[in-house]
Amino acid sequence: MYKIGICDDSKLTCTELENMLRDIMQSLRIEAEIEPWYSGESLCKYLEAGNRFELIFLDIELLKLSGIDVGNYIRNYLDDLKTSIIYISYNRSYAMRLFKMQPLDFLVKPLQYNSVRESVEMFLKRAGRKKTFLEYRTGNNYCREMCEDIIYLTSDNKKIHLITIANKEIEFYGKLKALKPQ
């Protein structure tokens, strides 16, 4: 299952894009969890807590924190080069300024179904259809890491330590036997 985020301050755009994505993923017979976000600040806070998306559709002209700032946060502060970002905007002039964020694509609003589908298909080709994740729970949050990003796991009295290639150390409670890649 792929986790897809949409970040746009327009609830209408989020709803329209979410409906397009559900239709596209269903037609491709691919499971996806799609989450809308209405501000760059709330998305960054969610990501800072260790949550991740494989694909984010990101509006450039958000109210406070711009989509460019959010992309910079993802790439440089979180050191996340794996999340695919597709920028969306009414203004075509942003395209060249986005180069440093290494976006997968840039879509012009109003969004067209075929353009969104082409971008999703490009993402799926790059990502490969069979990614496996290790899912776990920390407090009230359900989290997951791509198995290919995990260097090793250790356990000490039901406390599991997970180390990733980004040198991130995650601790949560559980049993190693109970962990299954999904």
Q: What tens digit of pLDDT does each residue of 52-98 get?
A: 999 999 999 999 999 999 999 999 999 999 999 999 999 888 767 78
Length of the chain: 182
* 90 & 170 share domain: no
Give me the domain span that covers residue 21. Answer: 2-127
- What the block records as the tokens of 108 is 């012009």
If asked whether residues 109 and 22 sit together in one domain, one would say yes
Q: Is 51 helix (H, G, I), strand (E, B) or coil?
A: coil
Answer yes or no: do 23 and 75 share one domain: yes
> Are 113 and 163 contained in the same domain?
no
pLDDT digits 0-9 by tens, 104-150: 999 999 999 999 999 999 999 888 755 678 888 888 888 888 888 89
pLDDT score recorded for residue 130: 58
Cα 53 from chain centroid (whole Å): 2
Alpha carbon distances (Å) from 77 to 54, 105, 146, 167, 169: 17, 21, 19, 14, 16
Which pLDDT band, with edges at 50, 70 and 90, does 47 fall under? very high
Identify whether residues 34 and 76 lie together within a single domain.
yes
The kind and range of the H/E element at 115 are helix 113-127
Same domain assignment for residues 150 and 117: no
Residues 30 and 82 in one domain: yes
Task: Please tell me the total count of domains within the chain.
Answer: 2
Convert the pLDDT of each residue in 13-46 to its tens digit. Answer: 999 999 999 999 999 888 899 999 999 999 999 9
In a shared domain, residues 26 and 93: yes
| 117 & 45 share domain | yes
Taking each helix axis from N to C terminus, what angle separates 11-27 and 113-127, rounded to the nearest 10 degrees? 60
Angle at 47 between CA 42 and CA 49, to 5 degrees: 100
Is residue 30 domain-shared with residue 113, that is, in the same domain? yes
CATH number of the domain at 119, please.
3.40.50.2300
Residues 15 and 103 both lie in one domain: yes
Q: Across-strand partners of 159?
A: 156, 173
Helix (H, G, I), strand (E, B) or coil at 112: coil
